[in-house]
């Protein structure tokens, strides 16, 4: 073994059945965990097995060494199970997300924070380092969002300046950071032997057979019921359930909520079909009238589906194909009076009256008699 390779501490066990790599320590070219050493162990395992376990207990380290390890795990055709023991902090949390399945021991933690950099040098070198840091942070944000499915606001909270965010295993399970929490099954000897003199042989045996005591099962069951009640409250679903309600009552309420959700989905789909049909009718008619070139039809249809009223109003103001049978003189102004024909007998109408009595005429006035429209508008709003 070379002098260089002695600096890296990797453990590869169970090579013939279920191989494991243990990442215990900080990540970096000269730390306990580096990409070169990891990929050598990783590829050696791939030569004989497509199944492996990566155990992690690390405080983080180099972004670039960590990203190289993450990419190696994600790009392989192996099935990787990651088990976080103790902590997956900083860059180690990114490596942990490289697994196909992520498990955490009950007392393990994830830690996230914005990346940091230390540098010295000229103004240009400092500016380059800032850009490098910003690019690294962007990549880490994208990995968290892609692998966990959290919103930008959640990552913003994790990446607040000068802050470390520590998440326990239960929180990680709720956020879908990990798929499973590994709880210890071994019972404390003192508890198992409590009042042993008063126990029957069957009771003593039952203390070691791995079964969950009935009272614990009841507590778990009650907690689950309370969680369901809380979720129903958040969803605004009325019910009369309590933690003491029968399982059948819970089943009825949940089935009713599911049926209601399915009906809402059906109604939403029907409404969308109705809106799509109306939009197509509107745009097809406008296309026949030549109000826009054929190349713009798809865009007009998209606009009509997103905002049908605004699109219909816009199309109503468009002239379309010229009317070959119309009079050559299309000036709607009265030559003698100098006023638009729309104003005949309506000279004293206010803007509000136009909106109530003849809104289409008001729109036409805006196009054909802008000065008259401007006077009405100013009288109303100025």
Taking the C-alpha atoms of residue 181 and residue 103, their distance in angstroms, rounded to an integer, is 6
SS3 content of the chain, % helix, strand, coil (to 5): 55, 15, 35
3-class state of residue 195 by DSSP: coil
The gap from C-alpha 61 to its chain's centroid, in whole angstroms, comes to 27
Copy the structure tokens of residue 282: 């509107």
Copy the structure tokens of residue 2: 């070379």
Helix-helix angle 308-316:359-368, to 10 degrees: 50
DSSP-assigned letters across all residues of 212-272: PPHHHHHHHHHHHHHHHHHHHHHTT------TTS-HHHHHHHHHHHHHHHHHHHHHHHHHH
First to last CA, the chain: 88
Q: What Cα–Cα distance (Å) separates residue 139 from each residue in 66, 88, 200, 230? A: 12, 18, 61, 36
Choose, from 22, 58, 62, 90, the residue flagged as catalytic. Answer: 90
Taking the C-alpha atoms of residue 39 and residue 78, their distance in angstroms, rounded to an integer, is 13
Q: Judging by beta carbons within 10 Å of its beta carbon (0-12, 13-18, 19+), is residue 322 exposed, middle or buried? A: exposed
Taking the C-alpha atoms of residue 150 and residue 96, their distance in angstroms, rounded to an integer, is 16
113 is catalytic: yes
Choose, from 22, 62, 113, 340, the residue flagged as catalytic. Answer: 113
Which phi-psi region, left, alpha or beta, contains residue 369 (left: φ > 0; alpha: ψ -120 to 50)? beta
239 is catalytic: no
- Helix runs in 56-194, H state only: 63-75, 91-96, 123-148, 152-158, 169-174, 189-192
Q: Which residues are catalytic?
A: 90, 113
């Amino acid at each position: 073994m070379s002098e260089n390779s002695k600096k890296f501490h990797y453990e590869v066990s169970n090579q013939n059945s279920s191989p494991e790599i243990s990442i215990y320590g900080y990540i970096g070219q000269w730390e306990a965990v580096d990409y070169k050493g990891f990929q050598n162990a990783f590829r050696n395992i791939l030569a004989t097995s497509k199944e492996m376990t990566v155990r992690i207990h690390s405080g983080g380290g180099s972004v670039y060494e960590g990203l190289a390890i993450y990419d190696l795990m994600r790009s392989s055709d192996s099935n990787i199970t990651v088990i976080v023991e103790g902590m997956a902090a900083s860059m180690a949390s990114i490596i942990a997300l490289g697994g196909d399945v992520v498990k955490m021991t009950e007392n393990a933690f994830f830690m996230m924070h914005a990346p940091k950099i230390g540098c010295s040098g000229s103004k240009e070198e400092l500016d380059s380092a800032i850009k490098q840091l910003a690019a690294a942070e962007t990549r880490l944000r994208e990995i968290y969002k892609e692998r966990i499915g959290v919103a930008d606001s959640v990552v913003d909270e994790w990446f607040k300046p000068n802050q470390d965010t520590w998440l326990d295993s239960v929180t990680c399970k709720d956020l879908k950071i990990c798929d499973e929490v590994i709880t210890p099954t071994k019972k404390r000897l003192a508890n198992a032997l409590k009042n042993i003199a008063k126990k029957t042989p069957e009771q003593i045996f039952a203390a070691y057979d791995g079964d969950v005591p009935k009272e614990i099962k009841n507590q778990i069951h009650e907690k689950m019921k309370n969680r369901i009640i809380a979720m129903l409250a958040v969803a605004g679903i009325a019910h009369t359930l309590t933690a003491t309600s029968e399982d059948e009552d819970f089943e009825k309420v949940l089935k009713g909520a599911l049926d209601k959700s399915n009906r809402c989905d059906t109604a939403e789909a029907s409404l969308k079909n109705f809106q799509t049909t109306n939009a197509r009718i509107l745009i097809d008619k406008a296309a026949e009238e030549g109000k826009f070139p054929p190349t713009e039809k798809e865009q007009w249809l998209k606009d009509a589906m997103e905002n049908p009223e605004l699109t219909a109003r816009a199309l109503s103001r468009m002239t379309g194909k010229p009317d070959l049978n119309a009079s050559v003189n299309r000036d709607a102004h009265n030559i003698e009076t100098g006023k638009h024909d729309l104003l005949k007998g309506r000279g004293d109408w206010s803007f509000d009256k136009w909106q109530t009595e003849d809104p289409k005429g008001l729109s036409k006035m805006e196009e054909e008699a802008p000065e008259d429209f401007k006077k009405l508008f100013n009288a109303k709003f100025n």
